[in-house]
Structures are given as C-alpha cells and as structure tokens.
Amino acid sequence: MSSSCGKTCEAESDYQWLGVSLSRNHGDGRILACAHRWKNVFYSQRDEENNKLPNGICYLYGNDLRQSQPIIPCYRDYQWKFGEDYGACQAGMSTTLTQDLMVIGAPGSSYWTGSVLVYNSSSRVMSAYLDNDSGSVKFGSYLGYSVGTGHFLHPTSTEVVGGAPKYSQTGKVFIFTVDDNMLRILTVISGVKLGSYFGASVCAVDLNGDRLSDLLVGAPMTTSTMATGVAREEGRVHVYINQGQVDLSEGCVGLTRDQFRRLTKEQLFSLAGFEDIELAKDIRKPAIVAYLTRGINLVVGTTRASYTPD
C-alpha cells in the first residue's frame, strides 16, 4: 500500500497488528483481514504535540489471496484531533463479511464510546451507529469490540450485532437494523456481573431450527466461586433464544469451566435442549467451544468469534 492514503494522511504500519480480526465470505471466498492499530501520522510528523491517529485499516482479499484492497473507513481529510469522532476509532478490532455487507467494529470512536460500521457492497452505502448524544451508548463502552450478523427479524433479513464489553463495566450487546446510512437499535441485552466483559464475543446462529438467529454472548472475565469457594476468572457463555421479532430470552446454558467439566455429553444435550449443538471445554484456558453438528466450530468466551448464517 502507498504511504499516501489521502490529502492529510501518511501511513504508519509499525505495530499495526494485522490479523487482529479475520473473516471470510462463504459464498465467493473473499477474506477481510484487519489491523486496528494502523496509524495516520500526517499531523504528528508536522507537529510533535499532535498525536498519531489510530484509524485502523482492513485489507479485502480475493479468493486467490493475490491482491488486496486497503480500506480505511475512519479516515477523514483534515481530521487531526485524537479521540474525537473517528480520530482514534481503531477500525477492524472485529469484522464479519457476508455476501453484501462488510461489518467492521470501531471501538475507539468518540473517545471509546465505540461504533459499528457497515458497508453494503451492492448499494455502495456506508452505514454507521452514531450515538448523537442520546446516551444509548456511554463513553468508554468499546462498542464494536465484537460484531456479527444474523437473521433476527425474519429468515431473509440481515441484522447487525455489536458488543460493548465495557458499558458501565458490566457490558451490553446491541442488535441493529441497517436504515440507509445509519444503524438503528432494535434491542439491547445487558450484562449483569461487574467486570465480566460481557459482549467481548458474539455469535449469531440458529440453535433450534426455526430459521431465526439465536445469540451466544461471551463474558470471558466472569468470576465464579462455586467449585473452590475462591473467586476465579473462568468466563461464561450466555445463550439467548429468539422468540421472534428479536425477542431474546436467556436459555438455561450458562456454564463455568468447572461446572462444565463435571457434565457428561448426555447431560449437556439434556440441559441444552437443542439437537444441533454440543458444548465442549478447553482445559488449558477458560474458554468454551460450541461444536455444531452441522460441521461449524465456534470458539466463544475468549476470542471475538462470529458466525454468519448462509
């Protein structure tokens, strides 16, 4: 990529963390790879009192991986203030790619209030969530730390999910509908435990075969005292079943590592009540892996993983 990326842009790729998020379109094989710490140093090179601007960058690859198209969704000509608007948005912390939509998390937007950016490759329209002083998303929430897409309203509609794990220190997950160039909030799911990082990972998938997306939410820093009486960070996966029209109710599966370790496969299936999902554990770290019998593996709890329904 050229070091010149706009009228007031000079690229710095040192420590950019390329690969912090990766997503693939299952239809045409395109791949989106992002580096949320990529910086615009145009103003800092000219005045040392100005900060480098961590706009973040993504690269869209074809299925042969031979050529890439750089995408810098947060860059604006003449924007020089760190933190303000998209000046430090860190786009690409999370991504997901569908046939038409490119969804990019930008948790550093507006002093780490965060945002979710959606580019429609068919209509060529960029949509974004902007709080506009409504207070729906607070400063420091990190909205966009995780993103996903799913069919929450109708089997043929596509809605967008964004996690905000630092919202009021308990975390929230927002489900949006794309309305022209804006994202409109449809519903909000709130975390309960302080410091659990609820929303650090999200996964939209149809668990019960009704053609509507249900939702898995990772809270990797949830503490538990059940096993030993000593508080330990073990993490937790929350399951929400879509009753229709984005009416999500929490299911009965919400196991810590120690609780899960004591369950047999038969007990898990009985507890979950779903024919197409099995939960498994990784004893090396506090994560839970969901294995779907349709052959799709989802890691939830310690990574920003997402699954886009076909």
Instruction: Give the pairing type, strands 68-71 and 57-61.
Output: antiparallel
Contact 97, 79 (CB under 8 A): no
Does the predicted model carry a pTM greater than 0.85? no
159 has which bridge partners? Answer: 150
Q: Encoding tokens for residue 53?
A: 């601007």
Give the model's pLDDT for residue 78: 84
Residue 89: which residues within 8 A CB-CB, separation 6 or more?
54, 55, 56, 73, 74, 106, 107, 108, 109, 115
In this prediction, residue 270 carries a pLDDT of 40
For residue 304, what are the β-bridge partners? none
Q: How far apart are CA 191 and CA 304, in angstroms?
A: 17
CA-to-CA distance for 308 and 94, rounded, in angstroms?
13
Which of 181-190, 200-209, 259-268, 270-279 has the highest mean predicted lDDT (pLDDT)?
A: 181-190
- Token match 């608007």: residue? 85
pLDDT exceeds cutoff 70 at 176: yes
Residue 32, strand partner residues:
23, 60
Dump pLDDT digits (tens) for 74-132.
998 888 888 788 889 999 999 999 999 999 999 999 999 999 999 998 888 999 998 76
Q: What pLDDT shows up at residue 283?
A: 37
Q: What is the residue type of 10?
A: E
d(CA 163, CA 172): 6
Determine the Cα–Cα distance for residues 38 and 56; give it in Å rounded to an integer.
5
Q: Point out the least confidently predicted range of 13-17, 53-57, 67-71, 207-211.
A: 207-211
pLDDT digits (tens, 9 = 90+) for 260-309: 455 444 444 444 444 444 444 443 333 334 443 333 333 333 333 333 33
- Statement: residue 310 has pLDDT above 60: no
